[in-house]
Copies of this chain bind each other. A is one copy, B any other.
Amino acid sequence: MEKTSRDPAMTDVARLAGVSHQTVSRVLNNHPNVREQTRLRVKAAIKELDYRPNRAARALVTGKTQLIGVVAQNSTLYGPASLLSAFEEAAGEAGFAVSVGRVKVLDRDSIAAAVERHRDQRVAGIVVIAPNSSAADALADVPAGVPLVTVDGDPDRSTPLVTVDQAKGAFEATKHLIDAGHETVWHVSGPADWFDAAGRVEGWRAALDATSAEVPPVVAADWSAASGYRAGQMLARMPEVTAVFCSNDHLALGVLRAMSERGRNVPHDVSVVGFDDVPEAAYFIPPLTTVRPDFAAVAHETLGLLLEQISDGETTRPRRTVAPMLVKRNSVAPPPR
């Protein structure tokens, strides 16, 4: 029977290389004052033993971990999921591990609990994907001193924040419809307490105001195709509706279906624009014109802001926004005459 001996430690490497463990530590941390020859000997020993430094020991003595905690809702909504994925990749490239704390609902208690779990783990920093007001409220409970960045959070709060420029995207989407000749544009909105939805309403309204178009009432929905469908059923019955800007692609999908059922052709009778550019949007019927956020850019900004706080304790520009891009496909046409 082989006894499974413990993992090699720094002293084992040191012994093999014929140096002190401190020298091994210096090699590992790229200290300048190590002779090249020694460095090579140590590296060879490390390789031979398949030595890997014990992060726990290092964390214990330095008081720092290389862990970033993320709090995200347990949903598969395209936006948040993409963001999370992009952030994990970015953080990984920067040498940080990402610990994800999922939360069933975005209420204050759940988020506070998730943040606490991360603090227990002594993460170096925390990212909260806090897209609605209850989530944003929970951040008040986070003690100062913990590096924290909010994504998609409350623009009126003072925590460092990164968001997609919702208003800009919505403005462009709406303007695109107006430029196509529509007198006005209706809007099917996401949940009112989501900042993304609010920003899109704002941009839509600004675009209408800019051309003095009449501003129709907002049609409120949640993010689901189901609610888009219900909104669409209503809009489809109103002949004066010739252009609809939807707060996301799934809402748009529901609207498309409602229009189709009512025999209103998209885009000839009604134009529709979405938001998010989900991968399948190009294969809706018809292919959907939509607004594409740059999640990778949001992830990088977020990481940058967080790392700044981790190293400096401070942040210079605590608010960053990333411009989205209009993707034109076949769901927009001039209004029927």
Contact = CB atoms under 8 A, between A and B. Distances in A.
Interface of A: 4, 6, 52-57, 59-60, 63, 65, 67, 74-76, 78, 81-82, 85-86, 88-89, 92, 97-102, 104, 117, 119-122, 145, 224-226, 228-229, 250, 253-254, 256-257, 260-261, 279-280, 282-285
A187 to B, nearest CB: 19
A226 B78 CA distance: 18
Given A282-B226, A283-B226, A74 B89 contact: yes
A117 B226 CA distance: 42
Given A76-B85, A88-B74, A88-B102, A122 B285 contact: no
A279 B76 contact: yes
B279 A250 contact: yes
> Which 5 pairs across A and B sit closest by C-beta, in order of nearness?
A225-B283, A56-B59, A225-B280, A56-B60, A88-B102
Contacts of A101: 88, 92, 97
Contacts of A145: 4
B279 A224 contact: yes
Contacts of A225: 279-280, 282-283
Contacts of A104: 89
A76 B74 contact: no
28 contacts: A52-B120, A55-B56, A55-B121, A55-B122, A56-B56, A56-B57, A56-B60, A56-B65, A56-B122, A57-B60, A75-B85, A76-B82, A76-B279, A81-B85, A85-B102, A88-B100, A88-B102, A92-B102, A98-B100, A99-B99, A225-B282, A228-B283, A229-B283, A250-B279, A250-B283, A254-B283, A256-B285, A257-B283
